[in-house]
Amino acid sequence: MVVTGVGVVSPYGIGLDCFQAGMLSGKCCLARTTDDVYPGFEGSIAQIRGLPAKDSNPRYSRTDRLAMMASQDAIANSGSDRSKFREAGIVMASTVGGLTEIDTGIAKDPAAFYQRNGNLIQASSYPVAHVADAVGERFEIRGPRCAISVACASGAMAIALAANMLLDGAAPIVLAGGSDPLCPFTLSGFNSLQALDPNPCSPFDQNRKGLNLGEGSAVLVLETLAGATARHASVLAVLRGWAMTNDAFHPTAPQNDGSGLAECIRLSMQMAEVTGDEIGYVNAHGTGTPLNDSAEANAYEAVFRGRNRPIPVSSTKSYFGHCLGAAGALEAAVTIMAIRCGALLPTLRLTNPIESPGIDWLRGDVKRQPLPLAMSASSGFGGSNTVLIFGSSLS
Amino acid sequence: MTPDSQPVTITGIGSVSPHGPLAGIIPKLRLEPTTITAWTTEGQRRAFLVPPFRPAAVVPGLKTRRLDRLSAWALVASSLAIRDAGIDLTQIDRSRVAVVFATAFGCIELTEAFYLSAAAHGWNGTDPVTFPETLASSPASHVAMFHGLRGPNITVSNKYFGGESAILQAAGVIRHAQADLAIVLAGDTLAQTLYAWYEQADLLSPACYNSNPVEDDGFVPSEGVAALVMESSARIKDRPGGRNYARITSGRWAAASGHPAEIIRQMLHGARPTVAICSGNGAPCALSPTSSLARETTGDDCVVTSPQAFARGLAGSGALFHLISGLGDLADTPRSHEQALFLGTARDNGFAAILLELS
């Protein structure tokens, strides 16, 4: 499986180029805000500013629009015209779906909401499936399509399932990724769980206080090497291995020993036929919450114990926040960028890392070195884990 | 999934439906909608509703007090399917068991409850217990936690083919050796918000407003969760005495298509199904094109089963109920090694086609 296109809409702006330039320059998009997403909210978020005016089609939610823009960018970057995508598959992830469009109606005035106040158009985008449909409609794509929602592992799992779809021969090429916008529903929910750091987060720091939410979308173009070769496409990266597991432990907390994620990493390496020594970088889930980061560090310690040198790990949520259903896809894009640029991105604001002798916590400046093989790890509420291994070449 | 793919076998069935909780196939009993009492309505409003039951009475030890109905039903339906398959989970490697769940609207009751708490107490006063349970993937997570299933845990959503895509995703996970066994679920609950949307869209059958019997004149909303146990066919050879409802040998789906019949014929690879189990997606017009496409691809002699009315009220997630009731319709006649086409259609010639070998 090869990646021939990457598209991104992020707090850095629209397009892969500004995402890449922003991250490599070490720019942080997280900022403290008051009353921005809903009245009374005070904290740090990463917002996308300057989106084009709302689509003329009111059936499309903000989630749909982000996914459509990222897909457009991915298709353009794949060096192919839209006709090549006619029979493509689509796997899009989201946790928010069309909640953005009904937030104000039902929460402000439930009585009016239930009295036929003309909210049907907004409601039609409520099911998560609508995100995949919106992309399909916009680009006239006719192949198999579905949306998935597995909390914060969604974006990565969409890529894994797209790879399965290619293995099955269900489609010749697949658009896979995730999209989630900021909205009162999720911000209020994480606030109620007291999971938010009011200041820009510091993943893997001993004094970390929680996560920050961001918004965005990332979409990959996945196809078989044979398909890419046949159309003379540039291969951006090879998807060498992928795996999915579940902790089966708790609705919100990971297993403290990180065993579910550790098993997922082992399975992905088994599929990629690589050893721990060959992995040059891990783009971690790294939310900045006390429970996630310690469990994740335990997973890396368990899997990479015995390596000839500590495993380089960073969390890029310290740049653009936690984008929920889009997070795994955005971080897959970061991982591919790291391979292509030979750049290991540090975790921002990491001053006092969790003590883990087997882990090289990347901090400070961007580390420049050839990176043939890198891994992106994602986990989520409900215990879902997905790990993707990307390489610069097949071997 | 292509004809040369390793087949996957359906070995267990469970459901929570307007028929109540059941293991195995759903009997051919005619159901009528019942009057909605869960919220205040102006005049009579009816739907196919799951009758109240105590989950622990069906699955001893099951605790559902803090769960919404969708998660509770997923737990009951999965337990019944596992029981029906005769599988003792303590005797197998549960890291090799996947859960694939299809839902159109997810945990809409709790989403609604969360919004109402925001309306009552402001966005800064919402309920932290409710929030994580609003995730569409919560039912699948609870199934994994209750049964200790540590394999891939996937929640899919598809406007027309939720159930079919769950079956095909699960078959893929098994075929690619990412799991040995999968619990496949599909379902939704009916909430006030959803009913209001259906009304505004003018989708509802006259039978929703009066006590007349349901005809093919519209959509009567429904609710429930169906579950299948799917295993690699090679695996069940080592498990004598296990059930074998049908083998899934190939499948194709597309959101739209210029030539659905041609693609389905390619998928059939010369096979001549004698039965078509049609999955109507709620629209009264959906059955006719599905039946026509079934006959076009399999021949006029093909027996087309008619889906149960309640299953048509589960837009996007009713497919497993169609399949279960279709298999039930066929149970009276021995059809060993006959083939069946499980088929759903959507606008723009979208389709999901799965070839089954009956046992």
d(C-alpha A65, C-alpha A39), whole Å: 24
Of B144, B196, B253, Cβ closest to residue A246: B144
State whether A130 and B158 contact (CB < 8 Å): no
Query: What residues in B contact A143, CB-CB < 8 Å?
Result: 254-255
Res. B337: pLDDT tops 50: yes
With H, G, I as helix, E, B as strand and everything else as coil, classify residue A23: helix
Task: Give how far the C-alpha of residue A24 lies from the chain's centroid of Cα atoms, to the nearest Å.
Answer: 18
pLDDT above 70 covers what percent of chain B? 96
Who wins on pLDDT, A354 or B358?
A354
Place of tokens 């059809």: B335
The residue type of B8 is V
Res. B286: pLDDT tops 60: no
Smallest CA–CA separation between A363 and chain B, in Å?
Answer: 32
The residue type of B113 is A
Res. B210: pLDDT tops 50: yes
pLDDT, one tens digit per residue, over B215-262 is: 766 789 999 999 999 999 888 877 777 789 999 999 999 988 778 899
State whether B106 and A168 contact (CB < 8 Å): no
Q: According to the model, what pLDDT value does residue A55 have?
A: 64
The architecture that CATH gives domain B8-237 is 3-Layer(aba) Sandwich (3.40)
With H, G, I as helix, E, B as strand and everything else as coil, classify residue A383: helix
Query: What residues in B contact A184, CB-CB < 8 Å?
Result: 118, 123
Res. A39: pLDDT tops 90: no
The residue type of B213 is P
Q: According to the model, what pLDDT value does residue A120 have?
A: 66
d(C-alpha A390, C-alpha A372), whole Å: 8
In chain A, whose CA is at the least distance from the CA of B166? A146
With H, G, I as helix, E, B as strand and everything else as coil, classify residue A145: strand
* Whether CATH 3.40.47.10 fits A2-230: yes
d(C-alpha B244, C-alpha B235), whole Å: 12
pLDDT, one tens digit per residue, over A247-286 is: 999 999 999 999 999 999 999 999 999 999 999 999 999 9
Smallest CA–CA separation between A24 and chain B, in Å?
Answer: 33
Q: According to the model, what pLDDT value does residue B216 have?
A: 64
State whether B126 and A127 contact (CB < 8 Å): no
Query: What residues in A contact B161, CB-CB < 8 Å?
Result: 146
Spatial contact of A222 and A176, defined as CB atoms under 8 Å apart: yes
Res. A162: pLDDT tops 60: yes
Q: According to the model, what pLDDT value does residue A216 have?
A: 98
State whether B159 and A130 contact (CB < 8 Å): yes
Give me chain A's average pLDDT, please: 94
User: Which ipTM was obtained for this model?
Assistant: 0.96
Who wins on pLDDT, A70 or B213?
A70
State whether B162 and A168 contact (CB < 8 Å): no
With H, G, I as helix, E, B as strand and everything else as coil, classify residue A303: helix
With H, G, I as helix, E, B as strand and everything else as coil, classify residue A245: strand
Tell me how crowded residue B26 is: count the other CB atoms within 10 A of its CB: 24
Q: According to the model, what pLDDT value does residue B138 have?
A: 97
Of B119, B131, B155, Cβ closest to residue A107: B119
In chain B, whose CA is at the least distance from the CA of A106? B115
In chain B, whose CA is at the least distance from the CA of A126? B105
Q: Where are the domains of chain B?
A: 8-237, 246-358
In chain A, whose CA is at the least distance from the CA of B131? A189
Of B153, B159, B197, Cβ closest to residue A150: B153
Who wins on pLDDT, B270 or B77?
B77
Tell me how crowded residue A81 is: count the other CB atoms within 10 A of its CB: 9
Q: According to the model, what pLDDT value does residue A324 have?
A: 98
Q: According to the model, what pLDDT value does residue B217 have?
A: 66
pLDDT, one tens digit per residue, over B77-113 is: 999 999 999 999 999 999 999 999 999 999 999 998 9
- Compute the average pLDDT of residues A183-203: 96
Report DSSP letters for A77-101, one per residue: HTT--GGGGTT-EEEEE-SSTTHHH
Of B141, B168, B172, Cβ closest to residue A383: B141
Q: According to the model, what pLDDT value does residue B284 have?
A: 45
Tell me how crowded residue A59 is: count the other CB atoms within 10 A of its CB: 18
- Compute the average pLDDT of residues B272-283: 76
State whether A116 and B199 contact (CB < 8 Å): yes
- Compute the average pLDDT of residues B307-318: 81
pLDDT, one tens digit per residue, over A203-241 is: 999 999 999 999 999 999 999 999 999 999 999 999 999
The answer to whether B176 contacts chain A (CB < 8 Å) is: yes
Domain A241-391: homologous superfamily in CATH: Thiolase/Chalcone synthase (3.40.47.10)
- Compute the average pLDDT of residues A353-377: 97
Please choose, from the candidates A215, A247, A214, A102, the residue with its C-alpha nearest in 3D space to the C-alpha of residue B108: A102
Q: CB-side exposure of B201: number of CA atoms within 13 Å?
A: 18
pLDDT, one tens digit per residue, over B123-146 is: 999 999 999 999 999 999 999 999
Q: According to the model, what pLDDT value does residue B285 have?
A: 45
Q: According to the model, what pLDDT value does residue B5 have?
A: 66
Of B94, B145, B154, Cβ closest to residue A249: B145
Q: According to the model, what pLDDT value does residue B273 have?
A: 92
Residue from A141, A188, A266, A267 to probe the interface with B (highest B Cβ count within 10 Å)? A188
- Compute the average pLDDT of residues A59-75: 95
Residues 76-95, chain A, touching B (beta carbon < 8 A): 87, 90, 95
pLDDT above 90 covers what percent of chain A? 84
Q: According to the model, what pLDDT value does residue B219 have?
A: 84
State whether A148 and B141 contact (CB < 8 Å): no
Place of tokens 């799991």: B179
d(C-alpha A295, C-alpha A299), whole Å: 6
Largest CA distance in chain A: 66
CATH of B246-358, one of 3.90.79.10, 3.40.50.300, 3.40.47.10, 3.10.20.30: 3.40.47.10
pLDDT, one tens digit per residue, over B141-173 is: 999 999 999 999 999 999 888 999 999 999 999
Of A108, A248, A267, Cβ closest to residue B148: A248
d(C-alpha B343, C-alpha B273), whole Å: 12
Q: According to the model, what pLDDT value does residue B287 have?
A: 60
State whether A168 and B5 contact (CB < 8 Å): yes
d(C-alpha A84, C-alpha A70), whole Å: 17
Residues of B175-196 as b/e, b for ≥16 C-beta within 10 angstroms?
beebbbbbbbbbbbbbbbbbbb
The answer to whether B104 contacts chain A (CB < 8 Å) is: yes
The answer to whether A194 contacts chain B (CB < 8 Å) is: yes
The answer to whether B95 contacts chain A (CB < 8 Å) is: yes
State whether B256 and A99 contact (CB < 8 Å): no
Catalytic residue numbers of A read 152, 285, 322
Q: According to the model, what pLDDT value does residue A53 have?
A: 73
Instruction: Measure Cα distances from A285 to A191, A277, A374, A377 in Å.
Output: 20, 20, 14, 5
d(C-alpha B91, C-alpha B87), whole Å: 8
Res. A65: pLDDT tops 60: yes
Q: Where are the domains of chain A?
A: 2-230, 241-391
Residues 110-149, chain B, touching A (beta carbon < 8 A): 111-112, 114-116, 118-119, 122-124, 126-128, 131-138, 140-142, 144-145, 147-149
Tokens of A292: 């996630």
The answer to whether A107 contacts chain B (CB < 8 Å) is: yes
The answer to whether A49 contacts chain B (CB < 8 Å) is: no
Of B128, B150, B151, Cβ closest to residue A192: B128
Query: What residues in A contact B197, CB-CB < 8 Å?
Result: 120, 123, 126
Please choose, from the candidates A285, A247, A212, the residue with its C-alpha nearest in 3D space to the C-alpha of residue A382: A247
